[in-house]
């Protein structure tokens, strides 16, 4: 199950995110999303857990908890909405 983690402190890295969620079970991946040019955290990330029961437990336990002074938003990730590709719109 893919989990969305929002309102992350900008100082949090992938390893810290993994550490927080690993106490609830096995993780496939933990990634803080970063700006592709600056490398700065965008303040959210995703965690992949293969066991739905463990993922649900992590969501329930961590949603609205505080991490480095920020209240986390933790829920099941929703599929990304289709959006038009960039471009000038001219042909």
What's the pLDDT score for residue 82? 77
**Do the domain assignments include residue 89?**
no
Higher pLDDT, 81 or 16: 16
C-alpha–C-alpha distance, residues 66 and 61, integer Å: 11
**Do the domain assignments include residue 61?**
yes
State mean pLDDT over 11-40. 97
- pLDDT tens-digit map of 27-81: 999 999 999 999 999 999 999 999 999 999 999 999 999 999 999 999 999 988 8
pTM: 0.88
Tokens 């929703």: give the residue: 78
| Dihedral angle sign, alpha carbons of residues 70, 18, 13, 40 | negative
Other CB atoms within a 10 A radius of the CB of residue 71 amount to 11
**Do the domain assignments include residue 88?**
no
CATH of the domain at 58: 3.30.70.330
DSSP label of 82? P
DSSP label of 13? -
Total number of domains in the chain: 1
């Amino acid at each position: 199950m893919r989990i969305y983690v929002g309102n992350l402190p900008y100082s949090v890295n992938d390893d810290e995110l993994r550490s927080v969620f690993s106490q609830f079970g096995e993780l496939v991946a933990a990634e803080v999303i970063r700006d592709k040019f600056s490398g700065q955290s965008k303040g959210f990330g995703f965690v992949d857990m293969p066991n739905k029961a463990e993922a649900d437990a992590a969501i329930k336990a961590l949603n609205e908890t505080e991490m480095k002074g920020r209240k986390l938003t933790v829920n099941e990730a929703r599929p990304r909405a289709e959006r038009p590709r960039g471009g000038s719109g001219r042909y």
